[in-house]
Structure 1
Amino acid sequence: MNIGQAARGSGISTKMLRYYESVGLLTTVRRTEAGYRVYSQDDVGTLRFVRRARDLGMPLDRIKHLIGLWQDEGRSSADVKRVATEHVVELRARITELTRMCEALEHMADACHGDHRPECPILEELADEGHCAPTPPEAARRKHRQGAAGKSPFGALQGVA
């Protein structure tokens, strides 16, 4: 089948299909004498595998490793499980980081009046001017965590890029 048919059959765009081939997720695809790619049903199955793994947020190097395990009939399921559980740990860390970012943004939004005035604690905090006053519960938590030194209540954003 041609690239368009393989793309439709796998749910991956032709552009991404070419890219996945270039980074080695597909074994060398056959070509016609005119240079057109010819995909097999196995290639489409591999592309579906890639799409599903990408839907789960897996990076390409991990997907490449999983494809190798998938195609190795002598594999150990423990090896596959290890790859999956490593990814779960990374996803949970990202969730924690995103949760902290959401909380920091919510605090900034709560500190903003959101009216016609030009003063904006959100912009001030993002500019690292730190003019936003923490809410009393946040101030107490911060004092407890950091001692009397007192830093910005939006410290969750510091170091997040």
Structure 2
Amino acid sequence: MGSKKQTKLYNLIFPIWLLWLFPLTWIVIFPANFLIDLTVVVVTLKVLKVNQIKEIAKKVIFKVWIFGFISDFIGTLAMFSVNFVDMAIENKSPLGEWWYKYLTNAVTYNPFENIYAVLWVSVCILIAGCFIYLFNYKVSFRKVDLNEAIKRKLALSLAVFTAPYLFYLPTSLFF
């Protein structure tokens, strides 16, 4: 018999960082993200001693919230790409076995298994954080009457405090 490449779908069962894709979780995720984003905006504006916090928050919160989800989705795609690479590599090859053991399996179930998985997840969080910063600085705050330094600090605050750190949460805790 010829050696067929077997696709390992069991590692795609339910990574915790894909939870937000399922409608049932939206009941919790949407309001929670909204409150977190609003809190970060308000607290950052207070720390930066900006006047008219309520008016500014009202102007930006919807865009901040939407772009946060878009950024998280981009980070999720980066996380999920480890599985696509795994499917493209010959499983029986040394590279395929290494990739599965140190990246695909570890990223999907427990990123703290090895340094490669921690780095992969960290880069995915960084990617999402960069998009949070860019979207907010370039789009969400574009029409807000704040100086550029305040806009950059506010965007950076959102990127740091709302990045998807739950990507680190091992799904193995739930199985």
Shared fold (TM-score greater than 0.5)?
Answer: no
Q: TM-score, normalised by structure 1?
A: 0.31
Greater radius of gyration (CA)? 1
The TM-score, its normalising length taken from structure 2, stands at: 0.29
Specify which structure has the bigger relative contact order, considering alpha-carbon pairs within 8 angstroms and separated by 6 or more residues. Answer: 2
